Amino acid sequence: MSGPGAGPWAQGVVDWFRHETLQVGAGNLFKTFPGRRCILVAHKGRLVYEHYAPGADAFEQIELDSAAKTVSALLIGVLVTQGRLDIDRPLAEYKVKPFAYWGDRDEYWPLITARHLMTHTSGLGKGPPGVKFEYNSGEHIQHLSALIRVLTSEHYASPVDWAEDQFAKPLGLPGLFDHDGLDGEISIGGGQLMSCPQLARIGQLLMNRGAWPISAAPAWPLDWLPWASNKTSVFQLVSKDYIREMTRPSFPEVVSTYGFLMWLNHARSPEDSSCCMCTCGACFGIPGPPIFGINEEAWFATGYLTRYLIMLPERDAFVVSLGMDLTGSSSCSVTWSWFSITYDDSFGALLHYLVLEAALPLPASTTTLTSTTLTRTLTSTTKTLTTYTTTSGTTVVKTTTTSLTSAAGGNWPFDWLWPTTSTTTVGWWPLAFFDSGFKANSTTTTTTFDLSTVIYNHGTRSNTSHVRRSKRHKKKEHEVDKGYMGGSCTCSCPVDQDFGRCYPLPDDMVFGKWSHGQEACDVFGSGYLLLERSCPNVGVVQPCTSNSWAIGGGTHDVCGRSFWTEDMGLNCSQLTSCDSSDGQPIFVDTRRLATCSCNVLRWKCDYDYEACDGNDTYYPPGSPEFAQRLLQHWSLPQHHAKGMFSFSLTGITGFALAVAVALGILVAIGVRRRRNDLGDYRPL
C-alpha cells in the first residue's frame, strides 16, 4: 500500500532512463506557467519530482478553489463507508431542511439525493433531478454540509469537527477545515487552503482506492535492501466500491465526463451523452473526453486559474500543480474572450499530462479511450486523427481522418519537452500534434457543432467565498442609526481571489454611513505598494494566435495592455513573445506562447464593522503600523460631515457642466469602471 501515512512523504525516482525526461518536462512547466508556486509528481506512492518557485516552500498553503470539491466528495464517502449514509436516499428523509431554491413550493426537494448534488444534476430547483447537468458551487451543493451535520451531530458539535477527526487527522492534514468560515459548516464548493504535499495526500488516497497506510514502508533506497520490510498496516478510510462509483459517471446519459465532484476521462459507451467537452472555461455538448489529447483514463480536480490535481490511475501517478495563471488557447478564440484574452483550464491540464505521459510508463494492458488513436509498427503507422477547426465565431467543424503512412515520423511529445526540436503541426489544437504526411488514400468525415450554447462557465472562481464575504457585510440593526466606530478593511488579492489581508481601523474613527467606511478602505486598496505586498504574482499564458480574428485580438503587446492596470490592478511584464511567422501552431513550445508575469499594484478592499479575526488564515491581520501610516494624511471629505449642506445657482450650474464633460470623455475613450457596491463581485 502506497502513501506517507500520517508522516512525511517518501522520496523516490522513476526508472533511470526516464528520470531526465521528467526533470526536463516538469522544468518546462515552470517556464510555461509564470504564476506557478509548486509542482509535485508522485509515482507508486513516492515523490519523484518536487519543485517550488522562489520564495515558496512545502509549507506554503494556497486556496484550491473548486479543486477542493473532490475532497468534499471523499467526506461523503467516509459516511457511506461507515454505514451512515445511502447516497440514493433523499436528503429530506434524513431530516435535512432546504435553504436554497428547489421550486416555487420546494416541490423538487423531496427528490434530491447526495448523488444528485455531487454530480451537478440536482436541477437547481428549475426542474426534476437527474436530467440536466448544471455546475454549481453555492447554496444548492452546500446542502451536503447540512447532511453531514444531521448525521454526525450526536457526537460532534459541527461538521468541521467531524471532518477534522474522521478525515483530516488520519490523512495527516490537521486543520484542513478549521478556517472555512461558515460557523462550523464545511465549504462543500471548495476553497480550502492546502500545500502541494498536502493535496498530494488526496491524490494518493484516490490512487489507493480509499485505503491509507498507518505506518509507511521504508523510503528509497532502503526499500531495496534484502531485509527491508515493505509491508504496511492500512485501514480503509473510504470503501473501494465508493471510489469506483466516484470515478464513473452516475448519469452517463446526462453527463458522461463527471463523477462525484471530479472530472473524468473514461472509456465511452454508446449510450453516453455528448456532455461535456470542457475547454475555454466552459463545457460544451460535443462528443469526446473532457480534455482532448489525453488518451487514457484520467481524473481531474480543477480549480480557478489552473490549480490542478491530475490523476492517471493506469500509471499509478499524479501531478499536483498550484499557482495562479490565466491560461488560454487558440481554440477558445471561437467563443468569447475577456478583453481579447482567452481562458482555458483544459489546455493547461494537457501540458501537465504530457510530462507524465513522456516520463512514466503506461502498462501494456491499457486501452485507448478517446477518439484519437495511433498504432505504430517498425515500418508503418495507422493513424486515426480527429481535428477541430473554426469557421466562424461560434462554429467548429470536426474532421476525422484515417490513413496509413509508410513510416512513423515525428518526435512528439518530446518536441514539447525539448523546445529546440523543430516540428511541423497542422489543424486545431490539441489533436494536431502528430507528424504530418497523410497518404492520398485517407478517409475523411466531417461534423459541424455550434458552440453558442454554453452549459456551464468554469472560467470563474467558485462562489463559495461569496458566502464567506456576505457574512462579513451583515450590518447590526442597532448600529445603523448610530453609525460605525472603527472596524476593519478586508483586502483581497487579484484576480478576484478570496484571500489577502485584514487591516484594523482606529477605534476613534467614526463613520456616519457604511459608504464612508468603504471610502477609508479604498485608501488601502490603492495603497497596496505601501503595505506588506502579500499577494502572489499572477501569470498570463496566451497562444500566439489568440483571438487574432477579433478587433484588438492577437498577442501583440499582450502584457502591456491597459486593462491589466485599470481593471485588474496588475503590472505585467513580458517574459516570452511569439514567433513573427504567421500561422504558427501553439502546441509545441513556449516560443508559440506569449507569457507575462504580473505583480500586484492595487487590490480590492471592503469595509467591515467588525475587527480583524486573528485566527483567519485567509485574511490574517496586517500590520497596524502600516495601517496608521497609510491613514495619517487621510480624513473623511467635508461633504460627509453632518449638518454640512449649502448650494448656489452658480455651483449647481458649474457642477452640472463638469458632470456633462466628464461623461462625454468617459464615453469617448471607453474607460471601463467597476461598480463600488458591496454586492459587486464579478469575475474577470
Q: What is the per-residue pLDDT for 103?
A: 95
Q: How far apart are CA 520 and CA 540, in angstroms?
A: 32
Q: What is the per-residue pLDDT for 366?
A: 53
Q: How far apart are CA 107 and CA 360, in angstroms?
A: 51
Cell 457543432 belongs to residue: 449
CB 159, CB 149: distance < 8 Å: yes
Nearest to 139 by CA among 473, 469, 464: 464
User: 250 φ, ψ to 5°?
Assistant: -80, -30
Q: How far apart are CA 212 and CA 87, in angstroms?
A: 23
CB half-sphere exposure, 145, CA atoms < 13 A: 25
Q: What is the per-residue pLDDT for 343?
A: 79
Residue 553 CB contacts under 8 Å (≥ 6 apart), including other chains: 333, 337, 340, 546, 547
CB 440, CB 472: distance < 8 Å: no
Q: How far apart are CA 391 and CA 448, in angstroms?
A: 10
User: 153 φ, ψ to 5°?
Assistant: -65, -20
- H or E segment at 606? strand 604-608
Q: How far apart are CA 301 and CA 306, in angstroms?
A: 10
* Residues of the chain where predicted confidence (pLDDT) is lower than 70: 1, 14-17, 181, 215-232, 277-290, 292, 330-340, 364-482, 545-555, 579-591, 636-684
**Amino acid type, 203:** G
Nearest to 147 by CA among 238, 205, 80: 80
Q: Quick check: helix, strand or coil at residue 386?
A: strand
Cα–Cα separations (whole angstroms), residue 600 to 339, 557, 567:
19, 19, 12
Q: Quick check: helix, strand or coil at residue 83?
A: coil
Q: What is the largest CA-CA distance in the chain?
A: 97
- Radius of gyration, CA atoms only, the chain: 27
CA angle 654, 657, 661 (to 5 degrees): 140
Q: How far apart are CA 23 and CA 49, in angstroms?
A: 7
Domains of the chain (ranges, CATH numbers): 65-235 (3.40.710.10), 473-534+604-669 (no CATH), 539-592 (no CATH)
Instruction: Please give the grid coordinates belonging to residue 120.
Output: 451537478
Q: How far apart are CA 51 and CA 471, in angstroms?
A: 37
Q: How far apart are CA 346 and CA 302, in angstroms?
A: 9
Q: How many CB atoms lie within 10 A of CB 610?
A: 14
Q: Quick check: helix, strand or coil at residue 651?
A: helix
Q: How far apart are CA 42 and CA 134, in angstroms?
A: 32
Q: What is the per-residue pLDDT for 131?
A: 94
SS3 assignment for 446-494:
EEEEECCCCCEECCCCCCHHHHHHHHHCCCCHHHHCCCEECCEEEEECC
* Model pLDDT for residues 129-170, shown as the tens digit of each residue: 999 998 888 899 999 999 999 999 999 999 999 999 999 999
CB half-sphere exposure, 136, CA atoms < 13 A: 23
Cα–Cα separations (whole angstroms), residue 469 to 74, 464, 607:
26, 9, 11
Q: How far apart are CA 105 and CA 89, in angstroms?
A: 21
Q: How many CB atoms lie within 10 A of CB 138?
A: 15
- DSSP letters for 493-539: -TTT-S-EEEEEPPTT-EESSHHHHHHHHHHHHHTGGGTT--PPPEE
Work out the burial of residue 86: count CB atoms within 10 Å of its CB; fewer than 13 is exposed, 13-18 middle, 19 or more buried.
middle
**Amino acid type, 625:** E
Q: How far apart are CA 158 and CA 162, in angstroms?
A: 7
Nearest to 295 by CA among 377, 386, 411: 386
Q: How far apart are CA 404 and CA 470, in angstroms?
A: 60
Cα–Cα separations (whole angstroms), residue 212 to 5, 76, 309, 620, 666:
6, 17, 18, 33, 60
CB 393, CB 331: distance < 8 Å: no
In the structure, how many helices (H) and strands (E) does the chain have? 15, 26
Q: What is the per-residue pLDDT for 71?
A: 97
Q: Quick check: helix, strand or coil at residue 46?
A: strand
Paired with 573 in beta bridges are 597
